[in-house]
Chain A
Amino acid sequence: MNYSKILNPFTYIAGTKTLLWGLAGILITSIFACFGPIHLDGVLDIHIGLNNYSTAGWSLQQNLIFLSEGVINWITISGVLYISSVILSKSKVRIVDVLGTQAFARLPLFLSVFIGAFTPLEKASAYFLHEFANMGNEVDINPFQLGLFILFMLSTIISIVWMVIWMYKAYAISANLKGTKAIVSFIVSILLSEIITKTVIFFLVSK
């Protein structure tokens, strides 16, 4: 098995091919996120939709919020990384490579969201809140549901770590950057994108 393809697929694919795969992934992940309900409310965020983020009811507007979260995250990180590439790279950076590889790098999120779609997330969250923080009412939950929730939590960590590795590899290849320059600019871009996406999505949801 070729592990380098898993660790860094962007040596082999980029541009339009990754853009199409990535966009399909963002769309499908958003659809499954509706079932969670899971909010991807930030460039590196996976949150269970509770209370004020409740998705009770299936209005078109609410479903559009789920979809737009994925798109906002992707557009923001791609935009910030593209600007960073243009400033720092001596190579000619193509925007289609940045957009495509960053979209593709978000595919691992599907793993967590898919498992979350079949997990009683709100029930399990309420159970943990009652058990460990003494908040809310007592919740009856069976071991299978509990196991599924733990699996969801583990898959969330794996998905995020995997996605960040791919995001970095995508950036390094698209912008032809290496070493400290690449790592520092990537971290700054992530922090900046996190602030932008959090703010934009907060205003969108609170409307």
Chain B
Amino acid sequence: MIEKILPVNCPACHAKLKIKRLGCTNCDTEINGDFDFPVLARFEKKEQDFVLSFVKHSGSLKEMAKEMNLSYPTVRNLLDKIIVRIKEMEI
């Protein structure tokens, strides 16, 4: 099955996309509005996986490094990159 990637930027002009419509697949209810994407949803798939792994490992970078076969500073640098991205998004 093809894994669909949730687009967060407009493919035409690269502006940030917003959620205009939500729908229930069970009862066909539709909600229209103007919603922002949550911060985590704006991340790339790799970054989302990293955050999930971070939570699953109770924030232990050492354990993550072991599992990912990377060195501790490499994993810490990836985390720092995500922290910078979050701060940028919050502005």
Determine the distance from Cα of A72 to Cα of B67 in the docked complex, in whole angstroms.
35
For A92, the chain B residues whose CB sits under 8 A away are 76
For A173, the chain B residues whose CB sits under 8 A away are 71, 73-74, 77
Chain B, 17-57, contact with A by CB distance < 8 Å: what is the 0/1 string?
Answer: 00000000000000000000000000000000000000000
| Contacting pair B71 A14 (CB below 8 A) | yes
For B69, the chain A residues whose CB sits under 8 A away are 12
For B72, the chain A residues whose CB sits under 8 A away are 14-15, 94, 97
| Contacting pair B77 A176 (CB below 8 A) | yes
| Contacting pair A91 B71 (CB below 8 A) | no
Interface of B is mostly: helix
Smallest CB separation, A177 vs chain B (Å): 10
Sorting the interface of chain B by its residue count into under 10, 10 to 19, 20 to 34 or 35 or more gives: under 10
Smallest CB separation, A161 vs chain B (Å): 23
A153 in contact (CB, < 8 A): no
Chain B, Cβ-Cβ closest to A174: B73
Sorting the interface of chain A by its residue count into under 10, 10 to 19, 20 to 34 or 35 or more gives: 10 to 19
Chain B, 69-85, contact with A by CB distance < 8 Å: what is the 0/1 string?
Answer: 11111101100100000
For B73, the chain A residues whose CB sits under 8 A away are 10, 14-15, 94, 97, 101, 173-174, 176
- CB interface residues, A 1-56, toward B, < 8 Å: 10-15
Determine the distance from Cα of A23 to Cα of B72 in the docked complex, in whole angstroms.
19
| Contacting pair A11 B76 (CB below 8 A) | no
Smallest CB separation, A71 vs chain B (Å): 23
For A12, the chain B residues whose CB sits under 8 A away are 69-71, 74
For A15, the chain B residues whose CB sits under 8 A away are 71-73
For B74, the chain A residues whose CB sits under 8 A away are 10-12, 14, 173
For B76, the chain A residues whose CB sits under 8 A away are 91-92, 176
A90 in contact (CB, < 8 A): yes
Smallest CB separation, A171 vs chain B (Å): 11
For A101, the chain B residues whose CB sits under 8 A away are 73
List the 3 closest pairs (A to B, CB-CB), nearest first. A14-B71, A176-B77, A91-B80
Could you list 6 A-B pairs, sorted by A, with CB under 8 Å?
A10-B71, A14-B74, A15-B71, A15-B73, A91-B77, A94-B72
